[in-house]
Amino acid sequence: MKYDLLIVGGGPAGLTAAIHARARNKSALVISNEPTASPLCRAPRMANYPGLPGVTGLELVERLVAQARDMGAELKIGRALSVLPMGGSVMVSVENDAVEGSAVILAPGVSRAAPLRGERELLGQGVSYCATCDGMFYRGKDVVCAGDAPNFEEEVEFLRSIGCRVAVKRLAGLEILGEGRVSGVREPSGETAPCDGVFLLRASIAPAQLAPGLELEGGYIKVDERMATSLPGVYAAGDCTGQPLQLARAVGQGQTAAHFAIEAMG
């Protein structure tokens, strides 16, 4: 099925975009890590959100999810790994699956993780973001896993189950070694470990890795007044587009992005 709108991120920006799409009778699929596991859901009280003073982060997200679902938006739990505009369509890979839409709205919040040394250079040459997608290439081999993805343990277990020898490391300060192909990792202590593959299983993926060629400004996704990015059919909303990192801005941008993405469909 081809959706009218794909939305990456089930936070306030993405869920508002989905609500708006459904109000305009467009199909909408929200691809997200479990929405109630986001850091916002640990906020005990939101003082400045208009109309709902004192609402907790969890309550706000639960209400948004329920509203989006009640209006007919679909929710696919999983990590979006790549976004590929294809002229009239946009493909999003979600772990080992792929979905298609007429347009996509990126609303993944902020990615606080800086890339590791060696990560960009060795991406696709031993560095992977998805065990269930690429694990089979490493059967019987040594791999390193690092990250904070909600399904981290599951991904590690999957690799073990297909015969990979898995070492789990902390992301912070890890360096990936190799020339043209991963050969190992170096930990902050200076200790090195040889391996054939490195699985970086983060909860969020930096925008430039998610959608190669996406123009950034100050580390945030660059958008125009319609929330359009530099890539065709790709819009962005919420914290991923810059300061202030606040709820009211995120929901406003989610609505705006959906409005103009739908308008562009004619």
Ligand X SMILES: Cc1cc2nc3c(=O)[nH]c(=O)nc-3n(C[C@H](O)[C@H](O)[C@H](O)COP(=O)(O)OP(=O)(O)OC[C@H]3O[C@@H](n4cnc5c(N)ncnc54)[C@H](O)[C@@H]3O)c2cc1C
Q: By CB under 6 A, name the binding residues for ligand X.
A: 8-14, 31-33, 35, 38-40, 42-43, 46-49, 57, 79-80, 107-109, 203-205, 238-239, 245-248, 250
Q: Is the peptide bond before 39 cis (omega within 30 degrees of 0)?
A: no
Is 31 exposed, middle or buried, given 0-12, 13-18 or 19+ CB atoms closer than 10 A? buried
Smallest gap from residue 36 Cβ to ligand X (A): 8
Minimum distance from residue 141 beta carbon to ligand X (Å): 26
| Sheet strands (E) in 47-96 | 74-77, 80-85, 90-94
Residue 265 contacts residue 28 (beta carbons within 8 Å): no
Kindly tell me which of 81 and 177 has the beta carbon lying closer to ligand X. 81
Shortest separation between residue 206's beta carbon and ligand X, angstroms:
9
Q: How many helices (H) and strands (E) does the chain have?
A: 7, 16
25/243 with CB nearer ligand X: 243
Could you tell me the smallest distance in angstroms from the CB atom of residue 220 to ligand X? Answer: 11
Which of 49, 260 has the CB closer to ligand X?
49
Using the minimum distance from each CB to ligand X, give the nearer residue, 27 or 151: 151
Residues 6+ apart with CB under 8 A from 9: 30, 31, 32, 106, 107, 108, 109, 238, 240
How far is residue 51's CA from residue 261's CA, in Å, rounded to a whole number?
A: 27
**Which is nearer to ligand X, 9 or 147 (by Cβ)?**
9
Nearer Cβ to ligand X (27/33): 33
CB of 133 to ligand X, least distance (A): 13
**Positive or negative, the Cα torsion across 111, 117, 120, 124?**
negative
Nearest alpha-carbon partner for 68 in 3, 31, 2, 21:
21
- To ligand X, the closest distance from the beta carbon of 21 in angstroms equals 15
